Structure 1
Amino acid sequence: MASRRNFIKNGITGMAAISLLPAVNTFAGEDNRYNRMFNAKPKLRFALASDGHYGQPGTDYKNFHADMVRWLNEDHAKNHFDFVIINGDLVHDQPELLPELKANCLDKLKAPYYTIPGNHDFADATLWEKIFGYKDNYVVDKGEVGLILANTADTKGKYICPDVSFIAESLDKFSSKEIVFVILHIPPVIWLKGEAFVDCPEVMRLLEKAPNVKALFHGHEHSLDSMRRSAKLPHFFDSHIGGSWGTGYKGYRVVEVSDDNKIYTYQVNASKNPVLNSTMI
């Protein structure tokens, strides 16, 4: 963790933003959600939030999560989420807190939700299935849209590549889908030397070869809230909900898919409600 914070303080991430992030940084009021790019309500709308770090010492983690639930429920009441994804680091090095987090926070979300482990969850497939009812690698079928969610850390917090066989099988299963999104807490690409990501060329070859994979979504790096690009695919980050460091605000990312399969995504500064870094994929 310290090396990641120092990396950011040294300004290297900021330098990367000049060449890797899109030249899009629009702001809008809290009610200006869909209809910004589409003429009607999107056929699919979901949110991604990550890095709550429930139980982290020295942080106000219970209020962080209460805020997250309130923000997402308010957005859902106004514009409707088909589901919410909590993309890793649900707890902070204490997997025994996962049932408490689920009962006291996540189950209060008004929209259906899915989760995937991060490097601070210290969880394997058995534990994840016991608590959430599904394993740490799974797919979600939403008609024309398929989602692939995969674990990127072991039970000690070591960064690992997504299971290649699982990714290949999932891509084959979703080969007829118009759109596939991939949800990974830790990015499988290292853009700059020293970044706390993991290099997974075999996984990326599979993903970039699949014509219907449209984007990857990540948490993990609390300081990133926009887009980076690998050879052929955009990778979107969603800032953080909790933890002791990162962007100066707490937020989440929204993804909207139109009836004609146009994809629009933007980051929400939930602390103050403007929309950030809007992008058409």
Structure 2
Amino acid sequence: MNHPNQTSRRRFIKNISLGTAVLLSGRITSLSAADVTELSGRSVLRFAIASDLHYGQPNTLFEKMTDTVIQQINHFHAGSALDLCVLNGDLVHDDKSFMPQVKKKADGLQVPYYVTRGNHDHVTPQEWNDIWSTPLNHDHIIKDVPFLFADTSNEKGEYLSPDLAWLESRLEAYKNHPNVFLFLHIPQQKWTKNGIDTPAFFALVRRYPNLRAVFHGHEHDQDGVYMDARLPFLFDSHVGGNWGTEYKGFRVVELLDNGTLVTYMMNPSVKMGELSYARLA
């Protein structure tokens, strides 16, 4: 009997717009399913990102959708061990009374997980901390890799830039680490319909070449990558809500032993859109 993970690798869906790789040099390349299968054996860190649960949105099967992604991430973890998972914003849909229920659901993940606030998560900083036991801006080191989680909204649901003073302090603190990852719900450039323009954000992150990738939720119809110079900004579709890509999926990222990043979308159990980001020489 084949392992489900082996089956999903063989069922890799190659798509011209998704099945490409963008190197930090700006060069575009691609990976086959066989390439990814081989490279996965060199992973030193593997994590998943799922965004936009929208738990509590009227006229949606929000509980079923949330249960499904929790089950699928746990299923993936059983075949390819994850070091962590990130729920990148819009955990609920406007009604903050659902937030404790989402916390209970998230606690069903069989890997450590971290969260960011989205524009539909209308909670105060204190309410957020009371539920999630973490401030809105927080950072953690996993396997010697710093992960930065920055807030990009408020109780009103406005689209905001992250706290750049906080972000600079953390990027400076970790400037000697070869790999740093940043998670923001709201895109800071108008690549997409619902992004905002924050030139100061880009001026800041360009100063830190060890920032390897930025991850966004918010845009349910986006599951690809945008580049700013050599820095990739990755989207991961959606796992809830009533609009977006036809499928509901989550992104997996693997850091290899040579510093290369390999990333792909799960749909939610089939690999698709495998991208590779080579480190700078």
1:278 lines up with 2:279 in the alignment: no
Matches within 5 A, 1:114-133: 114-133=114-133
Number of the residue aligned with 1:200 = 198
1:60 lines up with 2:61 in the alignment: yes
Give the unaligned 5+ runs of structure 2.
1-16, 23-27
| 1:143/1:72 CA distance change after superposition, 3 Å | closer
1:259 corresponds to which of 257, 260, 264: 257
Q: Secondary structure at the match of 1:175?
A: coil
Amino acid paired to 1:207? V
Give the Cα–Cα distance (whole angstroms) in 1 for the partners of residues 218 and 170 of structure 2: 23
Give the Cα–Cα distance (whole angstroms) in 2 for the partners of residues 199 and 142 of structure 1: 31
Give the Cα–Cα distance (whole angstroms) in 2 for the partners of residues 186 and 241 of structure 1: 16
1:50 lines up with 2:37 in the alignment: no
| 1:61/1:144 CA distance change after superposition, 3 Å | same
Amino acid paired to 2:77? H
Q: Secondary structure at the match of 1:48?
A: strand
2:39 corresponds to which of 15, 37, 40: 37
Give the Cα–Cα distance (whole angstroms) in 2 for the partners of residues 21 and 214 of structure 1: 14
Instruction: Using the TM superposition, give the Cα deviation of residue 34 of structure 1 relative to its aligned residue in structure 2, in angstroms.
Output: 5.8
Give the Cα–Cα distance (whole angstroms) in 2 for the partners of residues 189 and 277 of structure 1: 22
Q: Secondary structure at the match of 1:63?
A: helix
Give the Cα–Cα distance (whole angstroms) in 2 for the partners of residues 26 and 172 of structure 1: 33
Instruction: Using the TM superposition, give the Cα deviation of residue 259 of structure 1 relative to its aligned residue in structure 2, in angstroms.
Output: 2.0
Instruction: Using the TM superposition, give the Cα deviation of residue 140 of structure 1 relative to its aligned residue in structure 2, in angstroms.
Output: 1.2
CA contact (8 A) 1:119 1:157 kept: yes
Give the Cα–Cα distance (whole angstroms) in 2 for the partners of residues 33 and 132 of structure 1: 38
Normalising by the residue count of structure 1, what TM-score does the alignment of the two structures yield?
A: 0.85
Q: Residue by residue, what CA displacement relative to the aligned partner does 1:2-59 show, whole Å, maximum 9, x if unpaired? A: xxxxxxxxxxxxxxx79x996677675xxx8963424x25111000000010000000
> Percent sequence identity over matched residues?
36
Give the Cα–Cα distance (whole angstroms) in 2 for the partners of residues 35 and 27 of structure 1: 9
Amino acid paired to 1:117? R
Matches within 5 A, 1:1-281: 28=33, 35-38=37-40, 40-103=41-104, 105-191=105-191, 195-270=193-268, 273-281=269-277
Pairs aligned (count): 255
Instruction: Using the TM superposition, give the Cα deviation of residue 175 of structure 1 relative to its aligned residue in structure 2, in angstroms.
Output: 1.1
Amino acid paired to 1:146? P
Give the Cα–Cα distance (whole angstroms) in 1 for the partners of residues 205 and 216 of structure 2: 15
Q: Secondary structure at the match of 2:102?
A: helix
CA contact (8 A) 2:262 2:276 kept: yes
Give the unaligned 5+ runs of structure 1.
1-16
Instruction: Using the TM superposition, give the Cα deviation of residue 128 of structure 1 relative to its aligned residue in structure 2, in angstroms.
Output: 1.5
CA contact (8 A) 1:146 1:180 kept: yes
| 1:34/1:102 CA distance change after superposition, 3 Å | farther
Give the Cα–Cα distance (whole angstroms) in 2 for the partners of residues 197 and 36 of structure 1: 36
CA contact (8 A) 2:21 2:30 kept: no
Give the Cα–Cα distance (whole angstroms) in 2 for the partners of residues 144 and 72 of structure 1: 23
Give the Cα–Cα distance (whole angstroms) in 1 for the partners of residues 266 and 29 of structure 2: 14
Give the Cα–Cα distance (whole angstroms) in 2 for the partners of residues 120 and 36 of structure 1: 40
Give the Cα–Cα distance (whole angstroms) in 2 for the partners of residues 164 and 245 of structure 1: 31
| 1:25/1:68 CA distance change after superposition, 3 Å | farther
| 1:268/1:33 CA distance change after superposition, 3 Å | farther
Q: Residue by residue, what CA displacement relative to the aligned partner does 1:126-169 show, whole Å, maximum 9, x if unpaired? A: 22211111111011112431111101111111100000101100
Runs of 4+ in 1 over 6 A off after TM superposition: 23-27
Give the Cα–Cα distance (whole angstroms) in 1 for the partners of residues 32 and 53 of structure 2: 24
CA contact (8 A) 2:52 2:241 kept: yes
CA contact (8 A) 2:56 2:95 kept: yes
